[in-house]
């Protein structure tokens, strides 16, 4: 539901439910498009993420992707908060962000802003550096909250305005 998919037979905008979702899974799983086949949800692959961090339970979906700069290991973890935004104040969320930054990932926070809108992102390393260097989880959480506030303070332009 979080992402745009334009790969036949699925054509959907971000934040719109897939027409092939049956409520119990994918109705076209055997013939699903390549976009769906190659999507790797971080929850499925990172053993430190417990059952409560399953995206449909937590309202957060994580993915990894290569980045050109800003990450020691050349990858970023993108955390899209599509559910209750209070989750960003959870100790587990802050611990996960700190762990990923410690592993050499860049951590990116994204907040969906409406169908057809660009999903802005914030580099969490810029907001959490003080808390991480002090080993203070409260400051890390405060930095994540500031990143969220910064994202919400700016309007999200229509995707068409950016050629997205």
* Residue-level pLDDT at 15: 66
pLDDT tens digits for 89-104?
A: 999 999 999 999 999 9
Q: Per-residue pLDDT for 56 more than 90?
A: no
* Residue-level pLDDT at 164: 46
Looking at every residue in the chain, the average pLDDT score rounds to: 85
Q: Per-residue pLDDT for 159 more than 70?
A: no
Q: Per-residue pLDDT for 12 more than 60?
A: yes
CA 137 to the chain's CA centroid: 20
| CA distances (Å), origin 118, targets 106, 113, 162, 163 | 20, 7, 8, 10
Name the strand (E) or helix (H) holding 109.
strand 106-110
Q: Per-residue pLDDT for 70 more than 70?
A: no
Q: Per-residue pLDDT for 55 more than 80?
A: yes
Q: Per-residue pLDDT for 133 more than 90?
A: yes
User: Average pLDDT of 23-43?
Assistant: 83
User: Average pLDDT of 47-57?
Assistant: 89
């Amino acid at each position: 539901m979080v992402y745009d998919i334009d790969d036949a037979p699925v054509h959907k905008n971000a934040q719109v439910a897939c027409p092939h979702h049956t409520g119990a899974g994918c109705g076209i799983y055997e013939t699903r498009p390549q976009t769906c086949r190659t999507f790797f949800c971080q929850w499925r692959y990172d053993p430190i993420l417990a059952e409560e961090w399953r995206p449909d339970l937590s309202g957060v979906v994580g993915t990894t992707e290569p980045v050109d700069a800003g990450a020691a290991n050349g990858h970023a973890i993108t955390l899209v908060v599509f559910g209750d935004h209070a989750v960003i104040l959870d100790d587990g969320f802050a611990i996960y962000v700190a762990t990923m930054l410690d592993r050499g990932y860049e951590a990116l926070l994204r907040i969906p802003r409406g169908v057809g809108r660009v999903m802005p992102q914030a580099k969490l390393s810029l907001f959490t550096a003080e808390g991480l260097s002090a080993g203070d989880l409260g400051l890390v959480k405060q930095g994540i909250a500031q990143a969220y506030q910064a994202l919400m303070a700016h309007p999200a332009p229509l995707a068409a305005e950016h050629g997205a």
